[in-house]
Structure 1
Amino acid sequence: MSPKDAIILGFVEGLTEFLPVSSTGHLILTAHIIGLSHNDFTKSFEISIQLGAIMAVFFLYLTRFLTDLETWKRIIVAFLPTGIFGFLLYKFVKGYLIGNDLVVVINLFLGGVFLLFADRWCEKFCRIERVQKLPLGKAFMIGLFQSLAMVPGVSRSGATIIGGMLMGLNRKQAAEFSFLLAVPTMLTATGYDLYKSYSQFSLQEFHLLGIGFAVSFLTAILSVKLLLKFVSAYNFVPFGIYRILVSLLYSYFFLF
């Protein structure tokens, strides 16, 4: 991997991490297009640069993280199932699911279909206009949806946004809760992966991780702002259609 490759992957990660389109699927597809082999370092790189995108959310919502206790209660409750399943299934996911092209294609497609359904559902049933009003039981259910994102192609943001809308959050609040929940979730995931893998990295590889982190951070700031502005005025239908189209493109590259 070259510094140029790290910049490209960092940009893709920052752009797609908070969009309901599967950042992992896009990173795998991008790596294939630019000619990178999907080896152990590439897998760890794809996981680790998510930290840059997560730090962007922490930066944008710093005041809320420091002062909003009611939101923190819901973040902690929603994090519990993901933390438990993530710890138990880490080796299986990284060893067998990350890099499995058929799994990515299926989940990109199904995620698009479910996103279209959830958005239609939201037209009639999304009445919660503040995360602080979300019942804790429903926050836990959103966490269960997020835990599905351990499977490549599902999309962590997509799963939590779908879960949020099905639990009654309006589109903007579902997106914001997805951003906020990403912080403990991805800090834990990336921290654990770096803890398990850092001793195998060379100085050059740490340099590449730093580049990917910085680009991901800057790109994610813009991506978060644009997504909130978009869903405040429109809906998630374009993202559902996009996922289905990308699944077809992905299958062309990897399955035929």
Structure 2
Amino acid sequence: MDFLTLLKAIILGLVEGLTEFAPVSSTGHMIIVDDMWLKSEEFLTKYVANTFKIVIQLGSILAVVIVFKDRFVQLLGLDRKKIAVVRGSAGRLKLAHVIVGLIPAGVLGLLFDDYIDEHLFSTSTVLIGLVIGALLMIAADRFAPKKPLVESVDQITYRHALAVGLIQCLSLWPGFSRSGSTISGGVLLGMSHRAAADFTFIMAVPIMAGASGISLLKNLEYFTLDALPFFIVGFISAFVFALISIKFFLKLINRIKLVPFAIYRLVLAAIVYLVYF
């Protein structure tokens, strides 16, 4: 495999890592970058290219696990000594909250997975998702309570978890963004931006790992020795850039909120529309 091909793996990993957990839609960026520029299917088969996208998503998931490792230890009850010291909490966020939040999108994703893959993965549908998602984010910042009712992820109730889970269903539309929809929904429910972001990232791990794991099992035949360097480089790239992106985003989200990301999405949609159409 030549250097140019590996460079493309690094670029796709970078795009995945930087955008997976920011409210800008990683799927949308991947489709736009790949369709308009890299065209991975021209140097890989369609199925190998799709498998690669699953692999780099796993790199992003690993980055979340590293950032929130103490929280996951607490949720799974693996080390009781750490439960009371996770971000100064008493460990009130429970695994049941996460499960309740996952159910709506998990059920819809299983029912409509094939339809979404066949009919919604295109630049035109991504543009729709980018614009509507941006409007939701602007509305969230505009109509959110001036003083958040939920400052910490440990104050989230089952009602909050279910409501955020229902709003997460919007992210099944490519370009809408999982974090964009769930953070916006959480903010509208009275959560601080940081609490909504923390819950979003924690929820993302099981739903993304489950979906990626199932897809990976279906595509194991494409893990050939020829393609393996491409997969490894992409995985490492996505992991490193996701790690940087998550830490940076969590430090800034309470301060900058969602509108700057919404503006970015609208500008990106306008540029892609002018160039692509």
Q: TM-score range by the shorter chain?
A: over 0.9
Q: Which residue does 2:256 correspond to in 1? A: 234
- The residue type paired with residue 52 of structure 2 is F
Q: How far is 1:246 from its partner?
A: 0.8
Alignment of 1:3 with 2:10, yes or no, is no
In the alignment, structure 1 residue 119 sits paired with structure 2 residue 122? no
Q: Identity percentage over the alignment? A: 37
Answer yes or no: is 1:93 the counterpart of 2:123.
no
Deviation at 1:124, TM superposition (A): 2.7
Task: Give the counterpart letter for 2:166 in structure 1.
Answer: L
Contact 2:47 2:222 in 1 (8 A): no
- The answer to whether 1:21 aligns with 2:19 is no
Q: State the shift of 1:4 in Å.
A: 0.8
* CA apart distance, 1:125: 6.1
CA contact (8 A) 1:56 1:217 kept: yes
CA distance in 1, matches of 2:225, 2:143: 50
User: What SS does the corresponding residue of 2:226 show, helix, strand or coil?
Assistant: helix
CA-CA distance at 1:245 after TM superposition: 0.7
How far off is 1:213 after superposition?
A: 1.2
Distance 1:226 1:123 in 2: 25
* More displaced 10-residue stretch of structure 1: 146-155 or 180-189: 146-155
Give how far 1:201 is off: 4.0
How far apart, CA to CA, are the structure 2 residues paired with 1:151 and 1:181? 18
Aligned-partner SS, 2:7 = helix
Out of 232-241 and 61-70, give the one that drifted further: 61-70
Mapped contact 2:18–2:245 kept (Cα < 8 A): yes
Give, in angstroms, the shift of residue 9 of structure 1: 0.5
- Once the 2 structures are TM-superposed, how far is the Cα of residue 25 of structure 1 from its aligned partner? 1.0
Paired AA for residue 69 in structure 2 = L
Partner of 1:137: 159
The 1:205/1:144 distance shift into structure 2, 3 A limit, reads farther
Distance 2:213 2:269 in 1: 29
1:32 equivalent in alignment to 2:54: no
How many angstroms apart in 2 are the aligned matches of 1:164 and 1:46? 28
The equivalent of 1:77 in structure 2 is: 100
State the Cα deviation string for residues 193-240 of structure 1 (Å, max 9, x = none). 111122234332233222111111111111111111111322211101
User: For the residues of structure 2 that align with 1:61 and 1:20, how far apart are their CA atoms?
Assistant: 18
Deviation at 1:252, TM superposition (A): 2.4
- How far residue 37 of structure 1 moved from its aligned partner, in angstroms, is 4.6
Match of 1:163 among 182, 185, 191: 185
Could you say what secondary structure the match of 2:208 adopts?
A: helix
Report the Cα distance in structure 2 between the residues aligned to 1:249 and 1:47, rounded to whole angstroms.
27
User: Contact 1:161–1:178 (CA<8 Å) still a contact in 2?
Assistant: yes
- For normalisation by structure 2, the TM-score amounts to 0.86
DSSP 3-state at the match of 1:249 = helix
Query: Shift of residue 63 of structure 1?
Result: 1.1
Aligned partners of 1:199 and 1:45: how far apart in 2? 12
Displacement after TM superposition at 1:123 (Å): 4.7
Could you tell me how far 1:180 is from its partner in structure 2? 0.8
d(CA) in 2 for partners of 1:47, 1:89: 18
Give the conservation status (yes or no) of the 8 Å contact 2:67–2:247: no
Give, as a single letter, the amino acid of the residue that structure 2 aligns with 1:164: G
Checking the alignment, whether the CA contact within 8 Å between 2:171 and 2:178 is kept in structure 1 is: yes
* Structure 2, gaps ≥5 residues long: 76-90
2:174 counterpart SS class = coil
Extract unaligned runs of 5+ from structure 1.
none
Question: What whole-Å deviation, never above 9, does each CA across 1:142-187 have from its counterpart, x for those lacking one?
Answer: 1122222121111111111112112221111111111111100110
**How many corresponding residue pairs?**
254
Give the letter for the 1:9 counterpart.
L
Question: Could you state the TM-score of these two structures normalised by the residue count of structure 1?
Answer: 0.92
Asked if 2 retains the 8 angstrom alpha-carbon contact of 1:48 and 1:193, the reply is no
User: 2:74 corresponds to which letter in structure 1?
Assistant: T
What is the SS of the residue equivalent to 1:49? Answer: helix
State the Cα RMSD in Å. 1.8
Partner of 1:62: 69
Distance, in Å, in 2 between the alignment partners of 1:145 and 1:206 is 37
